[in-house]
């Protein structure tokens, strides 16, 4: 889907846009996120220097999610930019320590053959663009731990001075 022959990339570079369908995106983002838009747009600027390919990319689209505090559905607009370098495997043996291409460099992928595949890169960048614990709003109050009432809709009737019995002895300590 997103494979390019290294020799086909002109020295002046090339730009490519691709629509990633909802059916492709949803398995990546797991159960907490789901597709809102029919597609997520991916655009790439590819530049080549010999057998090294530099990719500057942009991922944009809308997703829905379940709030990690109140469990209500909300929407999220992704607009994520990234840069990635593809280095030929043969160049790995000749690299100097500290140069692009060290094993601990997460922005480098080694490729073997004469093509680079941007599909795994696109899937990785979509996942990296997502917040770990998304909230429907910055001031989301969540749900009551006793009765499950959504506290964004108003207070619940639970007693607010309930103390966990495991910590009750600490109330007896004098300061």
How far is 104 from 31, CA to CA, in rounded Å?
Answer: 30
Q: How far is CA 86 from CA 51, 53, 137, in A?
A: 8, 5, 38
Spell out the domain ranges in the chain: 3-139, 141-175
How far is 121 from 144, CA to CA, in rounded Å?
Answer: 40
**What is the radius of gyration, based on Cα positions, of the chain?**
24
Residues 6+ apart with CB under 8 A from 166: none
How far is 168 from 175, CA to CA, in rounded Å?
Answer: 15
pLDDT mean for each 10 residues of the chain (175 residues): 88 92 91 90 94 93 94 94 90 57 64 90 94 94 91 87 79 72
Provide the H-helix boundaries in the chain. Answer: 22-29, 89-92, 119-129
Q: How far is CA 94 from CA 63, 156, 157, in A?
A: 43, 66, 69
Smallest CA-to-CA distance from 103 within 118, 93, 115 is with: 93
Q: pTM for the whole thing?
A: 0.77
Q: For position 101, what pLDDT does the model report? A: 45
């Amino acid at each position: 889907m997103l494979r390019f022959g290294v020799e086909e990339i002109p020295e002046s570079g090339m730009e490519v846009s691709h629509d990633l369908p909802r059916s492709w995106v949803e398995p990546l983002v797991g159960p907490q996120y789901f597709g809102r838009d029919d597609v997520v747009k991916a655009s790439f600027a590819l530049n080549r220097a010999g057998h090294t390919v530099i990719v500057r990319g942009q991922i944009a689209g809308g997703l829905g999610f379940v709030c990690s505090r109140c469990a209500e559905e909300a929407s999220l607009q992704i607009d994520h930019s990234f840069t990635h370098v593809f280095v030929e495997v043969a160049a790995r043996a000749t690299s100097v320590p500290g140069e692009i291409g060290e094993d601990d460099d997460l922005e480098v992928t080694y490729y073997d053959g004469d093509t680079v595949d941007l599909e795994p890169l696109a899937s990785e960048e979509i996942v990296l663009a997502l917040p770990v614990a998304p909230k429907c709003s910055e001031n989301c109050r969540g749900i009551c731990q006793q009765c499950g009432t959504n506290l964004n809709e108003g207070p619940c009737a639970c007693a607010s001075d309930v103390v966990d019995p495991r910590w009750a002895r600490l109330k007896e300590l004098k300061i």
